[in-house]
Amino acid sequence: MKIEIGSILKKFRKKHKVNQADLAKYLLISRPTYLRYEQNTIEIPLSKLFEVAKFYNVDIIDLIRLIEMEKSKKDVNFAPFNEQVLIFSAQAI
Protein backbone atom coordinates (compact mmCIF):
# COMPACT_ATOMS: atom_id res chain seq x y z
CA MET A 1 0.00 0.00 0.00
CA LYS A 2 1.22 3.46 -0.86
CA ILE A 3 1.92 5.57 2.19
CA GLU A 4 -0.10 8.74 1.84
CA ILE A 5 2.28 11.33 3.20
CA GLY A 6 0.16 14.10 1.72
CA SER A 7 -2.56 13.71 4.32
CA ILE A 8 0.02 14.16 7.09
CA LEU A 9 1.47 17.22 5.36
CA LYS A 10 -1.98 18.73 5.05
CA LYS A 11 -2.87 18.02 8.70
CA PHE A 12 0.37 19.62 9.91
CA ARG A 13 -0.14 22.64 7.69
CA LYS A 14 -3.72 23.20 8.81
CA LYS A 15 -2.87 22.60 12.48
CA HIS A 16 -0.17 25.26 12.31
CA LYS A 17 -2.37 27.61 10.23
CA VAL A 18 0.16 27.82 7.41
CA ASN A 19 -0.91 28.29 3.82
CA GLN A 20 0.47 26.29 0.91
CA ALA A 21 2.15 29.31 -0.66
CA ASP A 22 4.19 30.13 2.47
CA LEU A 23 5.30 26.54 2.95
CA ALA A 24 6.16 26.19 -0.73
CA LYS A 25 8.23 29.37 -0.51
CA TYR A 26 10.11 27.96 2.50
CA LEU A 27 10.76 24.72 0.59
CA LEU A 28 11.86 26.70 -2.50
CA ILE A 29 9.23 25.06 -4.69
CA SER A 30 6.10 26.29 -6.43
CA ARG A 31 2.73 26.18 -4.71
CA PRO A 32 1.38 23.75 -7.35
CA THR A 33 4.27 21.39 -6.59
CA TYR A 34 3.51 21.51 -2.88
CA LEU A 35 -0.17 20.93 -3.64
CA ARG A 36 0.82 17.79 -5.57
CA TYR A 37 2.70 16.55 -2.49
CA GLU A 38 -0.45 16.97 -0.40
CA GLN A 39 -2.57 15.28 -3.06
CA ASN A 40 -0.08 12.40 -3.35
CA THR A 41 0.15 12.90 -7.10
CA ILE A 42 3.93 13.20 -6.79
CA GLU A 43 6.21 11.86 -4.08
CA ILE A 44 7.93 14.31 -1.80
CA PRO A 45 11.71 13.90 -1.94
CA LEU A 46 13.30 12.87 1.35
CA SER A 47 15.31 16.10 1.38
CA LYS A 48 12.07 18.10 1.29
CA LEU A 49 10.55 15.91 4.01
CA PHE A 50 13.54 16.83 6.22
CA GLU A 51 12.88 20.50 5.45
CA VAL A 52 9.19 20.10 6.34
CA ALA A 53 10.17 18.58 9.69
CA LYS A 54 12.55 21.49 10.28
CA PHE A 55 9.83 24.00 9.34
CA TYR A 56 7.48 22.56 11.97
CA ASN A 57 10.33 22.10 14.46
CA VAL A 58 9.74 18.36 14.79
CA ASP A 59 12.21 15.51 14.57
CA ILE A 60 12.11 13.69 11.24
CA ILE A 61 11.68 10.40 13.15
CA ASP A 62 8.52 11.74 14.80
CA LEU A 63 7.20 12.82 11.41
CA ILE A 64 7.89 9.35 9.98
CA ARG A 65 6.15 7.76 12.98
CA LEU A 66 3.06 9.85 12.26
CA ILE A 67 3.17 8.74 8.64
CA GLU A 68 3.43 5.10 9.72
CA MET A 69 0.57 5.53 12.20
CA GLU A 70 -1.58 6.98 9.42
CA LYS A 71 -0.67 4.05 7.20
CA SER A 72 -1.52 1.49 9.89
CA LYS A 73 -4.96 3.05 10.35
CA LYS A 74 -5.70 2.36 6.70
CA ASP A 75 -4.20 -1.14 6.77
CA VAL A 76 -6.52 -2.42 9.47
CA ASN A 77 -8.62 -5.25 8.09
CA PHE A 78 -11.08 -6.85 10.46
CA ALA A 79 -12.51 -9.37 7.97
CA PRO A 80 -10.27 -12.30 9.02
CA PHE A 81 -11.03 -11.56 12.69
CA ASN A 82 -14.77 -11.50 12.03
CA GLU A 83 -14.57 -14.82 10.16
CA GLN A 84 -12.74 -16.41 13.10
CA VAL A 85 -15.41 -15.18 15.51
CA LEU A 86 -18.15 -16.64 13.31
CA ILE A 87 -16.35 -19.99 13.08
CA PHE A 88 -15.78 -20.03 16.84
CA SER A 89 -19.44 -19.16 17.47
CA ALA A 90 -20.64 -21.93 15.15
CA GLN A 91 -18.42 -24.49 16.90
CA ALA A 92 -19.80 -23.48 20.28
CA ILE A 93 -23.36 -24.29 19.21
Max Cα–Cα distance, the chain, nearest Å: 66
Say which DSSP state 59 is in. Answer: -
Distance, CA of 85 to CA of 19 (rounded, Å): 47
Distance, CA of 44 to CA of 71 (rounded, Å): 16
pTM listed for this prediction: 0.69
Q: What is the CATH number of the domain that holds 77?
A: 1.10.260.40
pLDDT in tens, 9-53: 998 899 999 999 999 999 999 999 999 999 999 999 999 999 999
Burial environment of residue 23 by CB neighbours within 10 A (0 to 12, 13 to 18, 19 or more)? buried
The yes-or-no verdict on residue 91 having pLDDT over 60 is: no
Per the structure, the count of domains in the chain is 1
* pLDDT more than 70, % of the chain: 74
Domain ranges, residue 77: 5-92
Measured from the Cβ of residue 24, the count of other Cβ atoms closer than 10 Å reads 17
